[in-house]
């Protein structure tokens, strides 16, 4: 059984930074890509970023605009999302996901999910 757990969310002012972490228990991430998605109130869940097992390949949503950086430490079974220049529009529940079946940017293709962590950006 794989369990993912996010941490690092919170309340921050516009322009501020947060670092989210996604840790796994039960087993390691293995060779899985790991992604971050987010869902704002009243909106559909959307892709944020994904990183390959080696960390050599990353993809970001266009709205990231160079503000976010995804990274991973396989020795610690942890994936991070460094978020800088946060805007009120970034307010959402951020969830990590692992082991995609095919499309790394498609939420429905992922087999394992965390519970999510709330990020709130005040103006």
Q: What is the pLDDT of residue 31?
A: 87
- Which helix (H) or strand (E) element contains residue 78? strand 78-83
Alpha-carbon gap, residue 3 to 105, rounded angstroms: 20
Q: What is the pLDDT of residue 108?
A: 94
SS3 of residue 98 by DSSP: strand
Q: What is the pLDDT of residue 102?
A: 86
Q: What is the pLDDT of residue 16?
A: 98
**Regions of the chain with pLDDT less than 50:** none
**List of residues 6+ apart from 95 with CB closer than 8 A:** 6, 36, 37, 38, 39, 45, 113, 114, 115, 116, 117
SS3 of residue 100 by DSSP: strand
Confirm if 122 and 12 have CB atoms less than 8 A apart. yes
SS3 of residue 66 by DSSP: coil
Q: What is the pLDDT of residues 70-97, one digit of tens each?
A: 999 988 999 999 999 999 999 999 999 9
């Amino acid at each position: 059984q794989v369990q993912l757990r996010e941490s690092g969310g919170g309340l921050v002012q516009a322009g501020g930074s947060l670092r989210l972490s996604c840790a796994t228990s039960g087993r390691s991430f293995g060779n899985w890509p790991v992604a971050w998605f987010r869902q704002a109130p009243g909106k559909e869940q959307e892709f944020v970023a994904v990183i390959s097992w080696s960390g050599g390949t990353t993809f970001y949503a266009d709205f990231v605009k160079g503000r976010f950086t995804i990274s991973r430490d396989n020795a610690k079974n942890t994936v991070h999302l460094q978020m800088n220049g946060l805007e009120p529009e970034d307010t959402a529940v951020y969830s990590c996901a692992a082991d995609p079946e095919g499309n790394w940017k498609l939420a429905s293709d992922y087999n394992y999910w965390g519970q999510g962590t709330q990020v709130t950006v005040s103006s």
